[in-house]
Amino acid sequence: MAILRGGKRIGGFDVRIGIPRDRSLDNVQGDVRLKQRAGGNPDSTMGRIQAYVNEAEGFARKARYYIEFNLPNGVGENLFGTSDNDTVFSNEVTDETRGFALSKDLRATQIANAKRVQAFCSAVDMPSREIVTKEVKHNGPVRKIAYDAQFADITATFYTDKFLRERSYFELWQKAAYSTTSFNFNYYNDYVTPVNILQLGNYASQNERDDVTYAVKLFDCFPKTIGAVSYSHDTNQVQTFTVTFSFRHWVNYFIDEADNVSLLGQKEFNVPTVKYGGLFGGLFSKLPPELRRAGRDVLNDIRRRVPIGPISGGRVFPPFRIPPLNI
């Protein structure tokens, strides 16, 4: 309990200042006792399980993920004249390009809507991989010899706004492959693009910040099926739709990094793009304990209202850092 306490409402925030009786709570975040993790008998089964959980800083969570994609090239500008030094392009639509998504339209849509679409992904599957085998018998039991790998399509679910811009994003992507007027199909490289699916987790050593703990890259991906949008007077839930993606193959960003299998489970690439504490972190450390506590309460209120971004020091939002592929 404080010896003296007073408060005032400033700009919608309750600011309270008090003089504490002692300073035992001045540096709660730095108290080493709070950083100790509960342990158990390492010789017991439950003790070993608990030790493994503590070492990994918890389990992966289904709701901690992010998906990243960019629209493909589409139909580019049409070459209509060249000289020795210059190449002249035109955006005019020809009979060959009519009905396909043009590169300029795809680029504009990517800039305007990509982050919203990625943030509105409410569910997605990590891709599977099946090793195809053939039974060979020479002597004794058969041997199953691996000869191919198969990759099943994945499905993602998206929330959508009242304009269905998220659905239109994928409809335009499909138009890079299929003309809605001539019913022709485009070249493969004009409608496929990589997609990243990221498992996120927070780290005690990084003040519980979100960052990448596992990541896969899907090659030659495109939306094979855009699901139906269902309507009903029996419910007023947020509208969603599904997209099924086809792709050629996928790789693990960590274990497919050349000669760096040991990076799996390490934090070398898990460096947040925003420093802890945000804009006010350095300022609060210079204040007296009484004002520091009052300011921290105000900042926590801001974090609850705006939990993401460098100003409040909230959780890190993409782009995330992932190790470069060396393939």
Question: Shortest CA distance to 320 belongs to which of 68, 103, 8?
Answer: 68
- 3-state SS of the chain: helix, strand, coil percent to 5? 25, 30, 45
For residues 283 and 273, what is the distance between their CA atoms, to the nearest angstrom?
20
| Distance from C-alpha of 304 to C-alpha of 134, rounded to nearest angstrom | 56
Bigger pLDDT: 207 vs 210: 210
Q: In the prediction, which pLDDT does 201 show?
A: 84
Residue 230's CB is within 10 A of a number of other CB atoms, namely: 9
Question: Which residues, 6+ apart, have CB-to-CB distance to 18 below 8 Å?
Answer: 2, 3, 4, 5, 6, 290, 293
Percent of the chain with pLDDT over 70: 56
CA-nearest of 57, 242, 265 to 156 is 242
State the average pLDDT for the chain. Answer: 75
pLDDT band at 99 (very low <50, low <70, confident <90, very high): confident
As a whole number, mean pLDDT of residues 236-251 equals: 95
Look at residue 69 and tell me whether its pLDDT is greater than 80: yes
**Which pLDDT score is estimated for 213?**
84
Rounded CA separation 89/86 (Å): 10
Nearest Cα neighbor of 191 from 112, 109, 102 is: 102
Q: State the pLDDT at residue 214.
A: 87
- In this prediction, residues 123-134 reach a mean pLDDT of 95
More confident residue, 55 or 99: 99
- Domains of the chain, CATH where assigned: 63-252 (2.30.110.20), 272-327 (no CATH)
Q: Is the pLDDT of residue 125 over 70?
A: yes
Residue among 303, 311, 324 nearest 274 (CA): 311
Is the pLDDT assigned to residue 190 strictly greater than 80?
yes
What integer is the mean pLDDT of 71-83? 60
Most confident of 11-15, 183-187, 242-246: 242-246
Residue range 5-14, pLDDT digits in tens:
666 666 666 6
Of 5-9, 175-179, 256-260, 303-307, where does mean pLDDT reach its minimum?
A: 303-307
Residue 87: pLDDT over 90: no
Provide CB contacts within 8 A for 164, sequence distance 6+.
229, 239
Evaluate whether 258 touches 326 at the Cβ level (below 8 Å).
yes
* Predicted model pTM: 0.65
Q: What is the pLDDT of residue 39?
A: 56
Tokens of 191: 């409608």
Asked if pLDDT for residue 147 goes beyond 80, the answer is yes
